[in-house]
Amino acid sequence: MGVGMSVSEKSVVVIGGGFGGLSASCYLAEAGADVTLVEKNCHLGGRANRLKERGFKFDMGPVAYTTPDVFEDFFADFDRSPDQFYSIERLNPNYRVFFDDGDRIDIPSDRSSQRETFERLEPGAGEQLDRYLDQAATNYEIMMDVISSSRAGIRDWLDPRLLGQLWHLSPLRGTLKDTIEDHFTHPKLQQVLTNATILVGSAPSKLPGFYTFLSHLDFNEGIYYPEDGMASVVEGVVELARDLGVKFETRTAARAIRSDSGSFTVQTSAGDHTTDIVVSNADYEYTESELLSEDQRGFSRSFWRECEYTPSMFVVYLGVEGDLGDLRHHSWLLPPDSKGSCGPSQDSIWPDDPIVYVNAPSITDDSVAPEGHSALYLMSTVSTEVVDSSSNRAEFRDTLLSTLDSRAGCDVRDRIVVEEHFSISEFAERYNSTRGSAYGLAQALTQSGPFRPPHRSKELPGMYFVGANTNPGIGVAPCLLSGKICAEKVIGDVLDPDRTSRVRKWVPF
């Protein structure tokens, strides 16, 4: 079960109730620690929040359930299974893609139909797809083995066994964009295969070629829908945590972290907590810059200024009368050339012809909208440098609705009964997200693996970090893994206190 070690009689305060914080809480509580999790918002799950209004229910953050094996392994660590908490349904098609010329294609859930779809657009592309996805599966297996391990610094990453695995990653040279273009010449197929990068906040021209594993998640493993949405997954993990003894304090914002004589005081809006160990699932830069004193920070402000963050998002949540025509549960609306436009941008201009992702859960689950109505989520990435004003939002909202009409033939403008927006300001205010970024630190090669900020504080024994800004990185499943890795570090340091000082000497950040 769990991480297989004990930290009984140790108290832990976890700051932030995203998937990383929830995961770390479960592992530490199962190992015997007295765990209290404080969360500034009224809900748990971090960005996996839910909006309810007039009979409509919207997942506000993550909307796709992928890598089911990670969730199965997580619950199995506690002798549970996901189906004890929620049920999932595999979607078919995975998604529908609408192009600017009026063409549309479905990406089916089975390989045979996927081959046929690719072959129709480009003779020989079916066989190429087999090669591409087989290598993507290999890359995924290697990456999972690599990122699931607890590595403190460069020395761990230079382990001969690890280097041997990395040698088999294909390709190590070139970008994801290059790799896709080496396999497929049809621009629409190239667009389809690069779209997933929008969900990790980096452009395909910046991601290394082995990020083909993103296609493995879509094409090989499939896309699932948890009954009642991703909020049901949050509820399942929270129920598990409560069963393990984790105590939750919502509407409780951390104000400061103070260390004295080997213990901590976490000052919150509801009072102080004295604790042996602190695990922060809050934004990494926010924790260091706002909660820790200057002499206890592992990174300077200049370090954070040089970091590359993912873009933000502009999301429109719509409750509409009637159905949604030819949309599917997941749909993409693509401009003429989207292959290089999925990543961070420092432009201060709102896009005039954006990639639009559409989520329509009421197509699968009629419980998320009143009878005769539909729930709709429109999202496009926007630079964190744009001016997030009400007038700019209104104009961009109209752009998204016009794109939905022109590309998918779905005009909802006169049928809207519920509408809410979420963007840069809300990411900053609700999640203390640096620059209003949607995901945090970008998953660039220079900010991955040994170059991503560590779980263990450089300066402060007993202080740890978890979540998307640490390894493995961005996404729900990576954050669950981050929680396990962080807990292993905490437990290892408690059982072998000298290990902390030995490791800290060569953590290269």
**What is the value of pTM for the model shown?**
0.92
For residue 343, pLDDT beyond 90:
no
Fold (topology level) of 11-48+65-83+228-307+440-504 = FAD/NAD(P)-binding domain (3.50.50)
For residue 337, pLDDT beyond 80:
no
Q: What is the pLDDT of residues 56-79, one digit of tens each?
A: 999 999 999 999 999 999 999 999
In this prediction, residues 365-390 reach a mean pLDDT of 97
In this prediction, residues 316-324 reach a mean pLDDT of 98
* Residue 299: count of CB within 10 angstroms of its CB: 16
Query: What does the pLDDT read at residue 338?
Result: 63
For residue 5, pLDDT beyond 90:
no
Query: What does the pLDDT read at residue 208?
Result: 81
Query: What does the pLDDT read at residue 264?
Result: 97
The pLDDT mean for the chain works out to 90
Q: What is the pLDDT of residues 422-463, one digit of tens each?
A: 999 999 999 999 999 999 998 877 787 778 899 999 999 999
% of the chain at pLDDT higher than 70: 89
Per-residue pLDDT band at 174 (split at 50, 70, 90)? confident
Query: What does the pLDDT read at residue 139?
Result: 87
Q: What is the pLDDT of residues 243-262, one digit of tens each?
A: 999 999 999 999 999 998 88
Higher pLDDT: 316 or 172? It is: 316
Query: What does the pLDDT read at residue 378?
Result: 98
Cβ-contact 29, 1 below 8 angstroms: no
Q: How far apart are CA 302 and CA 294, in angstroms?
A: 13
For residue 54, pLDDT beyond 90:
yes
DSSP state of 507: -
% of the chain at pLDDT higher than 90: 77
Query: What does the pLDDT read at residue 447?
Result: 83
Q: List all residues 6 or more positions away from 506 whose beta carbon is below 8 Å from its beta carbon.
A: 152, 153, 154, 155
In this prediction, residues 106-117 reach a mean pLDDT of 97
For residue 509, pLDDT beyond 50:
no
Token pair 């990395």 is found at 166
Please confirm whether the linkage preceding 171 is cis (ω < 30° from 0): yes
Token pair 């030995």 is found at 502
For residue 155, pLDDT beyond 90:
no
Higher pLDDT: 172 or 294? It is: 294
Per-residue pLDDT band at 150 (split at 50, 70, 90)? low
Q: Find the DSSP H helices in 122-207.
A: 125-147, 154-157, 160-167, 176-183, 187-194
Q: What is the pLDDT of residues 26-47, one digit of tens each?
A: 999 999 999 999 999 999 999 9
In this prediction, residues 338-351 reach a mean pLDDT of 63
Q: What is the pLDDT of residues 186-207, one digit of tens each?
A: 999 999 999 888 877 778 888 8
Per-residue pLDDT band at 210 (split at 50, 70, 90)? confident
DSSP string covering 381-436, please? Answer: EE-TTS---HHHHHHHHHHHHHHHHHHH----TTSEEEEEEE-HHHHHHHH--GGG
The b-or-e profile of 7-20 (16+ CB within 10 A means b, else e) is: beebbbbbbbbbbb
Distances (CA, A) of 83 to 74, 226, 234: 12, 10, 13
Query: What does the pLDDT read at residue 145?
Result: 72
For residue 498, pLDDT beyond 70:
no
Domain ranges across the chain: 11-48+65-83+228-307+440-504
Q: How far apart are CA 468 and CA 362, in angstroms?
A: 29
